[in-house]
Amino acid sequence: MVIAVDGPGGVGKSTVANRVAEALELPHLDTGSTYRAAGLTALRMGAPLDDSDAVLAAIAGVDISIVEGVVSIDGADVTEDLRRDEVTKASSVVAAHPDVRERIVALQQAWVAKRGGSAVVEGRDIGTVVFPDAPVKIYLTARPEIRAARRSGDAEAADKSEDQIAAELAARDHRDSSRKASPLRPADDAEIIDTSDLSIDEVVERVLALVDAVGRR
Ligand code: DC
């Protein structure tokens, strides 16, 4: 079964999705890394990020693969490059193009199909678009100041103030939620969990309880 974990940045999605995948012995796909790989490819090829056709042509010419969390472009490990600031921003810009999304979503669906159709898949539109029939859909949220504080603990944010991190998160939220193609929003049948005042363990337990409830039905 697919367990969809959606939500904006800084809510603990990756940590929770990882832990749930481990507990259930399922593969884990971080779909953000697929858009990051698309953004990095566009930057490398000099494709203007707001030009959908140019971005699409750039990513059509490369092979993006993800194996156990290691992302490669044409066989070269780019996992660390994907966390660079300019790539974070580029990923959000290229993710707004419907044609680019179509291609990247196909890659995500093929990744899960190749693994027998069961995985913990995290992103922004997993429950709404990529796997609308997922039996478990989680949408994580947290108060803005909590998200900024969590992000400031990440290595890539080491030299930024919390105000700067909060402003960048807000800008990306706005871009991700206001785009026409698959905007960031909870699926109607998603379980919304506010992680602001919960520990990781508590969130993981809630998700596992939901998986259990579906399994027993
Ligand atoms: O989760 P992340 O920060 O690695 O995601 C990077 C960007 O990719 C984010 O700004 C929006 C986009 N994204 C998306 O549009 N749909 C997804 N399922 C995952 C990420």
113-139 pLDDT tens trace: 999 999 999 999 999 999 999 999 999
Q: Which two tokens stand for residue 75?
A: 């066989």
Which residue's CA is the closest to the ligand 1 atom numbered 1? Answer: 32
Q: Residue 216 has what pLDDT? A: 54
Distance CA 61, CA 72 (A): 14
What percentage of residues in the chain have a pLDDT greater than 70?
99
Which ligand 1 atom sits closest to the C-alpha of 176?
11
Q: Is 18 in the pocket of ligand 1 (CB under 6 A)?
A: no
Whether the per-residue pLDDT at 70 is higher than 80: the answer is yes
Which ligand 1 atom sits closest to the C-alpha of 123?
18
76-105 pLDDT tens trace: 999 999 999 999 999 999 999 999 999 999
Whether the per-residue pLDDT at 181 is higher than 70: the answer is yes
Which residue's CA is the closest to the ligand 1 atom numbered 20? Answer: 32
Q: Is 6 in the pocket of ligand 1 (CB under 6 A)?
A: no
Q: Residue 6 has what pLDDT? A: 97
What percentage of residues in the chain have a pLDDT greater than 90?
79
Q: Beta strand 119-123 with 2-6: parallel, antiparallel or unpaired?
A: parallel
DSSP class per residue in 35-89: HHHHHHHHHHHT--TT-HHHHHHHHHTS-EEEETTEEEETTEE-TTGGGSHHHHH
CA 217 / ligand 1 centre spacing (Å): 32
Which residue's CA is the closest to the ligand 1 atom numbered 2? Answer: 32
User: How many Å separate Cα 72 from the centre of its chain?
Assistant: 17
Contact in structure between 14 and 22 (CB atoms under 8 Å): no
Q: Residue 94 has what pLDDT? A: 97
Domains for the chain: give ranges and CATH numbers: 1-26+118-217 (3.40.50.300), 30-117 (3.40.50.300)
**pTM listed for this prediction:** 0.93
Whether the per-residue pLDDT at 213 is higher than 60: the answer is yes
133-179 pLDDT tens trace: 999 999 999 998 899 988 887 767 778 888 898 898 888 888 888 88
Which residue's CA is the closest to the ligand 1 atom numbered 15? Answer: 95
Which residue's CA is the closest to the ligand 1 atom numbered 10? Answer: 92
